[in-house]
Amino acid sequence: MNKLNLLIVEDDINTINEYKASIRNFDNFYLVGTTNNSSEAVNMVKEYCPHAVILDLELHLGSGNGLIFLKQLSELALPYKPFILVVTNNISNVTHSIARNLGADFVITKNQNDFSCKMVLEFLSSIAQSTINSNLNSSSAAQAAADISNRETLRDKISTELDLIGISSKLKGRQYLADAIEITYNQRVSNLCSIIAKKYSKTDASVERAMQTAINHAWRNTDIESLERYYTTYINPQKGVPTVMEFIYYYSAKIKKSL
């Protein structure tokens, strides 16, 4: 079964967490990311080509707003247009009409009696396959879908490798490491920490520190047999653990050989 690649644009962290918790109960969603910034959301659409976007119009705790996102999205030459589901506290019919004119496909208001994040996901789940199919009408769209599938496979492989050596998803540096391995899988870059720091609005130093902390955690807490089985390259005996870049380049090369 094909999964619907989903982007969530929402400024309330509790709502985002509720979506994430609810998504675990569905087997036909793949969450490509979340953001509370409308400009970043446009960039994420270009990068991830989601099939659908859950869009909050009023990003008071973030940056920009949903109408700006819709306008900027309409100006892009995308291989296919994602299904835009507006989920908002705004009950103005005028605002809803503007959103639809800018490309919103459906509007759900948060003040309706039966509203919940689960209900939103149930609605999307009910139209998931038709939404995926409707966007596969051109060779460029088909290529974009293939690229998404390949990226899902890569991300799953990275996640498995990190699990095997005990780098838990609870560690802040794990996501940074996963992103870094994915980037270097595709190309070598000289400003890796800066790229990741910009994505998460962090400093270069804090990103590098979090990644090294995650690596150190694995080498302190995972049994030596597992580490030697799954991390087979040389480690400087004076340091006892890989450096951030040694770790990233090892896994990007290892995964490239296996895929």
Domain count, the chain: 2
Last residue of a domain, one of 137, 155, 189: 137
Own/partner contacts of 255-259, CB < 8 Å, gap of 24 or more, are 255/154, 255/157, 255/158, 255/161, 255/181, 255/185, 256/185, 258/157, 259/153, 259/154, 259/157
- Specify whether 126 is located in the same domain as 167: no
- The span from the CA of 222 to the CA of 63, in Å, is 41
User: Is the pLDDT confidence value at 78 over 60?
Assistant: yes
- Specify whether 188 is located in the same domain as 246: yes
Neighbouring-strand partners of residue 208: none
In this predicted structure, what is the pLDDT of residue 134?
62
- Specify whether 63 is located in the same domain as 187: no
- The span from the CA of 255 to the CA of 182, in Å, is 10
- Specify whether 61 is located in the same domain as 110: yes
- Which residues, in sequence order, are CB contacts of 36 under 8 Å at separation 6+? 9, 10, 11, 59, 61, 62, 63
Dihedral sign from CA coordinates of 188, 148, 19, 1: negative
- Specify whether 97 is located in the same domain as 161: no
In this predicted structure, what is the pLDDT of residue 143?
57
- Specify whether 125 is located in the same domain as 178: no
Mean pLDDT of 18-34: 90
- Specify whether 109 is located in the same domain as 214: no
- Specify whether 26 is located in the same domain as 127: yes
Return the higher-pLDDT residue of 74 and 211. 211
Under 8 Å between Cβ of 68 and 38: yes
pTM: 0.59
- Specify whether 48 is located in the same domain as 115: yes
- Which residues, in sequence order, are CB contacts of 80 under 8 Å at separation 6+? 49, 135, 136, 137, 138, 140, 141, 144
Return the higher-pLDDT residue of 64 and 259. 64
Helix axes 172-186, 244-258, angle to 10 degrees: 60
Containing structural domain, residue 17: 4-137
Q: What is the CATH number of the domain that holds 9?
A: 3.40.50.2300
pLDDT more than 70, % of the chain: 92
pLDDT band at 62 (very low <50, low <70, confident <90, very high): confident
Q: What is the CATH number of the domain that holds 225?
A: 1.10.10.10
Q: Which of 54, 2, 55 is nearest to 27 (CA)?
A: 2
- Specify whether 20 is located in the same domain as 126: yes
- Specify whether 70 is located in the same domain as 191: no
Last residue of a domain, one of 81, 111, 137: 137
| Amino acid at the residue 100 | R
- Specify whether 150 is located in the same domain as 92: no
Q: Which of 236, 153, 222, 17 is nearest to 245 (CA)?
A: 236
Last residue of a domain, one of 137, 169, 194: 137
For residue 103, CA distances in Å to 28, 72, 81 come to 24, 10, 9
